[in-house]
Structure 1
Amino acid sequence: MVGSFTDIGATCVDFCNFRRDLLAYIAGADAQMVIEDMFKNKEANPDFYFDFDLNEERQLCRLFWTDAVSRKNFACFGDVMSFDATYRTNRYKLVFVPFTGVDNHKRCITFGASLIAREDVQSYTWLLKSFKTAMRHTPRCCITDQDPALKVAVPNIMPETKHRFCMWHIMSKLGDKVGTALANNSDFKKAINNTVWDETIRAPEFERRWATVMTDYNLVDHRWFSQLYEAKETWIPAYFQDIFMGGLLKTTSRSESENSYFGKFTKHHNSLVEFLMQYNRAIEEQRHNQNKLNARCEGSFPETKTPMAIERQAAVVYTIEIFYEFQPELWEGSFNCKITNKTMDDGARKYIVQETGKKLFEVTYQETTQITECSCNKFNRVGILCRHVLAVFKDEDVQEIPGRYIVPRWTRDADAQPMYDIVWKATSNTHGGNERRTVANKLWNEFYNCMGLANGWPDQMEAMLTTLQQLKATLQSATQHCNPSATPQSVIESIVNATAPSEIQIKTPSVAKNKGSGKRLKSNKEKACEKNKKKVRKCATCDKPGHDSRNCVENKELP
């Protein structure tokens, strides 16, 4: 845009020097400046919420914050949530804990974030209380890992929320617990996976399958498996069928993906001021992508494959991502599923539907109440109708999806239909920050437009340069008249949105020590995997490992 590398106004050295000046300006006021920035955000927007806590030495040890957009997103999509701690995001090794949900495009969104010095019951209790106060509601289901502190804090603070443990974290330990023989037994792995991960079965069926696996492989008295069975209601899908999960979460993979996303913006040597700046950049990008998806839904409709009215309705109602999940179900239900039997039972019609090459499914259809149930249980798991029900709809000449089977959170206007009775609205910025950003964006846009139009025309470029130089001289004169003491310090203050306090009341935190802040201890399994990945050096003479050509037996045998 500017012509070449030589025409760029700043170099890498300039950026390094600016960061040096920034850190020198912050000095010991790091935590104080972050809290002052929070107060300014609260003053500018009353819907911004934050809370913090200090230890006995008046050091910042806990911080939670969320803004109006995040609170509105929670009101619309906060039925299921997960959160997982991540480390190495700041120089004080404070643990970063973002609260993650899923929007109507099945993309991750952030409901709020926090920094805590310790991962203990007291810290998580404080954190969940702050979250509950900010949102005024709690999610129906919350997914975390098996952290001992969370096992205590979540039920105590959010008793109405069903606490679910991450299935992946549990099953990843399977190989270490059962021993090498069973870990390499494909029949055992298939049996245990079919028992644990199957979302279509009910609790009695799970218990029957579990008992069979334990008996067949002599694991009835295994302590670890006994503990898992006792805690089955906290992680097995069969015990969460009373809560609509919509295929959203059953592991903390969403939170881990969110942590990885924020990790691209933050570094382990960041100060708190830098961390907050980078966090805001990450949130801006996340919301920009969400707005792009919303605009895509508003401005276009996906291509349909059939002339069926039910598909056209789905294309209008669902977001594009959800429609492309629904479309294959409709296609399969219309062309690859056949009804093998139909009976009447207490005013309801029972269908036996068979998908090509697969087992039979039973579908119950009641025309008067439009209640349809399928033994595959896909609607309860995912939130869209399955191919077997759609095959019955085709047979019954149903022209549109009944309203009870359109889940609001998967619709295009989901953000206008909050599931909770509070709608958060961002108030206008009392200091005109939004207006200034809008004018600045327009100004940059006009500058690059003029540069593009004038490029290649020397006379036009010369006129543009003269105009800008005159404007620059005018602005410099006005700036010096209004603020004679304008220095790089004022630039730093405008970027961090805070000034260095004359008196520090909130001290910077001490470097925290948590389970993930230092060097992680690796399991024997991880060590073995890493060892297998390493290239083994081989002898150039005999092509065998363990020695080189100088010590090769074949060379020694030569005369």
Structure 2
Amino acid sequence: MRFQSAIDVQRHTQKQLDRDADCTLPQLSTSLKLEALASKLYTHTAFADFQLEATASICSLSVGVFTPPANGIEVIGIADARMQKTYQVVCNYTTNDAECSCKLFNRKGIICRHIIWVYAGKQVETLPDKYIVMRWTKNSHKIPLYGLHGELMDDFDATYLRKLEMCKLWLEFYATISLLKNVPNNQITYLADTLKQFRVKLNPQAESMTKERDLQMLLGCNFSNEVRILPPHQAKNKGSGKRMISKKQQCIAKAEKPKTLCHNCKQMAHHDKRNYPNAFLLDANNKGSSDEDDVDDG
């Protein structure tokens, strides 16, 4: 129950984040057109990282080294006052591609402040598709879904609605089955026949499913009449041998035995002369009496 509640909380939080991303827009901190575009494109969490880079591109960057363009490719050295380091941005004006030596996009999937600074200077108003990672966008759940065999499935919304309808169907099915305990047999037979007719109507060429056929479809192979797996040899593991009797059981078994006459103590007891419990006292007394006799003889 605790695991189910944790899943419900996670789903509720996910729905809240999706609603906020679809219905609200974050506040902009700069006048860059790329920031306004990113606020509509990225989720709030991903946009916070992009906004940090956009703000830093205005506050802490300046041109360090500039190389004249050749064959449509330009190398710009940008001095980062905060990091106290110069980074190189290679721009291709034919494709509007840019690559920075800081490699932030390769690590986080967000373009760095150096590329944003170059795009702002060149008045690039749209981000190339190369720098838009689908997992950070608001429409990441609407990408095409593919099945096990590579077939193209419906979009996320249609798939989700289909799963929801299937869940409702299973709930109705189990609720109906739970009510069949106290109904006549003819109604149970009528329900079974109705389901069978509906199944045959959906797939007229389907054979009658049995337990053996279900297992064959699950395992992907046919059953063989030849048995190749033999039972294992008997193994003596811990606890498989003779069980040790506890002290309490030993005392109970001893008390149930009939008493016999002991020739040492001359009483009816559970011992005899051979296993007399105070035999060492008897030996000591006998030894003491023999020593006294020797003294008297002396």
Task: Give the TM-score normalised by the residue count of structure 1.
Answer: 0.27
Greater C-alpha radius of gyration: 2
Task: Using CA pairs under 8 Å that are at least 6 residues apart, name the structure with larger relative contact order, 1 or 2.
Answer: 1
